[in-house]
Chains A and B, each alone.
Chain A
Amino acid sequence: MKYDVLVIGGGIAGIEASLTLGDAGFEVLLVEKDPSIGGHMIQLSKVFPTTDCAGCITTPKMAAAASHPKVHLMTYSEVKEVQKTGKEFRVKVLKKPRYVEEDLCIGCGRCEEVCPVLVPREFDYGIVGRKAVYIPFEMAVPKKAVLDLEHCMMCGRCERACPKDAINFLQEPEEVEITVKAIIVATGYNLFPPEKKKEYSYTGNLTLIHTNLNPNIIHSMQMERLLAPSRPYHALLRPGDGKVPERVAWVLCTGSRDKSLGNPLCSRVCCMYSVKQALLYTSAIPFGEAAIYYMDIRAFGKGFEEFYTMVRDLGVYFIRGKVARIESRNGNPVVIVEDTETGEIREDEYDMVVLSIGLLSNPELSEILGIDTNSYGFYVPPEENANPVATKVDGIFVAGTATCPKDIPDTVAEAAAAAAQCIAYLKEVGT
């Protein structure tokens, strides 16, 4: 199969780049490793500083990519090999088995209704369960079921229930070979695993709660899910016992600016997403008390400082100090910190604590693509200031958080820039 461009990664950067290239008339193959496109952005509640609904921005773009005549989606697939021959790249893509025939599945969810096995739902970071066969999320594109054979009892209920005979346990992984003239790498970021910061007592798996860990210490992407209009619960509740949380704290720089954890970098978005979450929380729980523990607030973007000031003026507490540890008291998390403005050692009890986790690199494809990464694993353009979307390989471009942590507007702008550079390159090599 031949395409003009391969876009790797179906998050907001990959979608934006694909749409720009498709609109310019190029044939694009968008490869996404997960069962649906949408990336991290589709999981978010609202975006800062405008508090626009994240899903309302992402969903139309996902639908546009799926229906674009020039954009071809290959989900649940991974790039395994890339070879440059002359002006072309030969790429091997592994299409993982869904055990569901995509062309037959109508996304009705009957299979999910009858499945007897529960598994922590990835889309909600485990705060609720899904079935072994499931629709990834309500707005998934494509909205097709996927069967997780690892957690399947092989009882066959899903197969019997499917009105379209779409379940196929005999599906095998399929290797697809494609030829493209250019590649855009939009593989995004990984989240800092908060269990690595042992002092903060994050539980990890909510279904296997350890006695000395507190399920009411969650991470910021779990909080995004709790705050999102598509949230898994019927109200804003803490996962540990279903209580409406009256006091919530955010602990900034969990896994960022922390040499002891191997990541001295600032993740650039945690300050503002935490400020946004505190605003959304106080809007949802009008008498709720919100506090943010910070080293310093980095409100550097357009409208960020005004947004931070507004939220502070609305009554959210900002306490300066690096949290030493989080303990438990009667099921409530207790934040232990030195307030560096007063010198006081504080022990503050909350209903729920949100760890504002940082963004790490996702360098998985660097060897396959033959492009450089820095010591933190982010892709490094040879001329970072002059041409931040180029790589050392002619015809391969990068966009979004694959090169460093950045916010959504910067990611989208960079995706458009990568697409523009790619179009110029395609014109140069001839299409």
Chain B
Amino acid sequence: MAEEQAKKELTVKKLRDRGVKPREEVIEMAKEQRKIIKQISECLKAGPKTIPEIASEINMPVGIVAWYVLTMFKYGQVEPGEEIDGYYKYKLVAKGGGK
């Protein structure tokens, strides 16, 4: 199976060979996104936290952290736990336990 996969020439490679490249802004944005997700994940390794707690710990605007945490929920990377004063605490989902 792996051999078969290796033999198959990807169409994305063919497109790159034609000189089509991804936009620089997209590459930069993806790097930034990876960094933010890593920061949030690292922060949650210490235990469940609310979105404002995460934002305060990683020193990032709470609105941006909210967007990432709730997107991570959508993709099964975090799950909500108890609710305290209107805020849910989020925890990391163990690998393989996502949606």
Contacts and interface: CB of A to CB of B under 8 A. Distances in A.
Interface of A is mostly: loop
B15 A234 contact: no
Contact of B22 (A118, A152, A206): A152
Contacts of A232: 70, 74
Contacts of A165: 8
Contacts of A206: 63, 67
B57 to A, nearest CB: 14
A170 interface: yes
B40 interface: no
A387 to B, nearest CB: 47
A160 B14 CA distance: 14
A331 interface: yes
A209 B62 CA distance: 10
A219 B51 CA distance: 22
A156 B27 contact: no
Interface stretch (A20-28, A236-244, A355-363): A236-244
A128 B70 contact: yes
A117 interface: yes
Interface residues of A, number: 40
A129 interface: yes
A167 B11 contact: yes
Contacts of A156: 10, 12-13
Contact of A242 (B5, B23, B27, B70): B70
Nearest to A351: B86
Nearest to A171: B11
Contacts of A235: 80, 88
A110 B70 CA distance: 20
A143 to B, nearest CB: 16
Contacts of A113: 75
B66 interface: yes
A160 B6 CA distance: 9
Interface of A: 113, 116-118, 127-129, 132, 150-156, 159-160, 165, 167-170, 206-207, 209, 215, 232-235, 237, 239-246, 331
6 contacts: A118-B68, A150-B23, A156-B10, A239-B66, A242-B50, A242-B51
Of all A-B residue pairs in the complex, the 7 with the closest CB atoms, nearest first, are A129-B71, A242-B51, A156-B12, A169-B11, A209-B63, A215-B63, A169-B15
